[in-house]
Amino acid sequence: MREVASLYDIRLVLRGDRLILSGELAAVEKAAPLAQHLIELCRLRTPFDRNDIARFAEGLATHGPHGTVFPETDVQVALPGSRKVIRPKSEGQRQYMKAIKDNDVVIGIGPAGTGKTYLAVALAVDALYKKRVRRIVLARPAVEAGESLGFLPGDMQEKVDPYLRPLYDSLEDMMPSDQMRRALEDRTIEIAPLAYMRGRTLSDAFVILDEAQNSTKAQMKMFLTRLGLNSQVVITGDKTQIDLPRKEDSGLLQV
């Protein structure tokens, strides 16, 4: 708040749960929306620094108090189970999250580490908590396993689990372990290889296909035709990491 006072040359006094701004009327009117926004970020436990405050103030000066000054709050996700707030860290991530909120089918393409899967899982968990969907389905091609699955020790689940581990990791970061375990047991959340989607119809579901660059044309068509009523799908992948024998066969390139 000292940063806000310095920016607008005003005084801020916190008394109980009230924040009092005093100074020139024009300066107070400019500072009030920024102070209100910072209070909201604190309430949501969203971190910010001096650079963020300066950026917010610049947006306020450009757009005015009724403009879209703080775009991150439009798409940030507060997960009650983990007391975590997921918010975009770049304009690209903001557009990606907004696209997922506004559309039934979204394709996210980009290199590893850009948050494609993580943000999609966060929005899926948020939709489940808010009862917009009844279940989450996370799928991934196990192309690395190929025909060698039969030679790996263990049953089918133990054989494919290593290829699905990144999806478990994302979930573990957003849900308490007991909630996640119950959701997996009663199949409210399902994590499976892409091949297991054949013959099913997924209604009232948030479906994520990860590593889609390693799906074939036929698998991608099969996957997209699984969607039923009140379902949405997010397809993520990296066009530079295709492990198929023929890169042009990638279902991600087709869609």
Strand bridging mode 11-15 / 105-109: unpaired
Would you list the domain boundaries of the chain? Answer: 2-70, 77-254
Q: How many CA within 13 A on the CB side of residue 89? A: 10
What confidence score (pLDDT) does residue 122 get? 93
Give the pair of three-digit tokens for residue 57. Answer: 């103030």
Residue bearing the bigger pLDDT, 56 or 202: 202
What confidence score (pLDDT) does residue 1 get? 77
Query: Predicted confidence band at 111 (pLDDT cuts at 50, 70, 90)?
Result: very high
Helix (H, G, I), strand (E, B) or coil at 77: strand
What confidence score (pLDDT) does residue 146 get? 46
Query: Is-contact 137 228, C-beta < 8 A?
Result: no
Q: What is the distance, to the nearest Å, from the Cα of residue 81 to the centroid of all Cα atoms in its chain?
A: 16
Query: Is-contact 236 108, C-beta < 8 A?
Result: yes
Instruction: Give CA–CA dist 154/156, Å, rounded.
Output: 7
DSSP characters over 87-121: --SSHHHHHHHHHHHH-SEEEEE--TTSSHHHHHH
What confidence score (pLDDT) does residue 147 get? 40
**Ramachandran class of 131: left when φ > 0, alpha when ψ lies in -120 to 50, beta otherwise:** left
Query: Is-contact 126 77, C-beta < 8 A?
Result: yes
Judged against a pLDDT cut of 90, whether residue 61 lies above it is answered with: no
Query: Predicted confidence band at 145 (pLDDT cuts at 50, 70, 90)?
Result: very low
Instruction: Give CA–CA dist 224/235, Å, rounded.
Output: 10
Instruction: Give CA–CA dist 89/95, Å, rounded.
Output: 11
Q: Residue 247 has what DSSP assignment?
A: G
Query: Predicted confidence band at 154 (pLDDT cuts at 50, 70, 90)?
Result: low
Query: Is-contact 209 139, C-beta < 8 A?
Result: yes
Which of the given ranges, 139-148, 154-163, 190-199, has the highest pLDDT on average?
190-199
As a whole number, the mean pLDDT across the chain is 83
28 by Cβ neighbours in 10 Å (0-12 / 13-18 / 19+) ranks as: middle
Judged against a pLDDT cut of 90, whether residue 207 lies above it is answered with: yes
Mean pLDDT of 26-33: 88
Query: Is-contact 164 193, C-beta < 8 A?
Result: yes
**Number of residues assigned to the chain:** 255
Give the pair of three-digit tokens for residue 77. Answer: 């996700």
Judged against a pLDDT cut of 90, whether residue 171 lies above it is answered with: no
Strand bridging mode 84-86 / 77-79: antiparallel
Instruction: Give CA–CA dist 67/95, Å, rounded.
Output: 18
Judged against a pLDDT cut of 50, whether residue 83 lies above it is answered with: yes
Mean pLDDT of 104-108: 96
Judged against a pLDDT cut of 50, whether residue 198 lies above it is answered with: yes
Instruction: Give CA–CA dist 253/250, Å, rounded.
Output: 5
Strand partners, 147: none
Strand partners, 22: 11
**Ramachandran class of 146: left when φ > 0, alpha when ψ lies in -120 to 50, beta otherwise:** left
Phi, psi of 215 (to 5 degrees): -90, 150
Query: Predicted confidence band at 159 (pLDDT cuts at 50, 70, 90)?
Result: low
- Fold of the 77-254 domain: Rossmann fold (3.40.50)
Please state, for a pLDDT cut of 70, what percent of the chain lies above it. Answer: 84
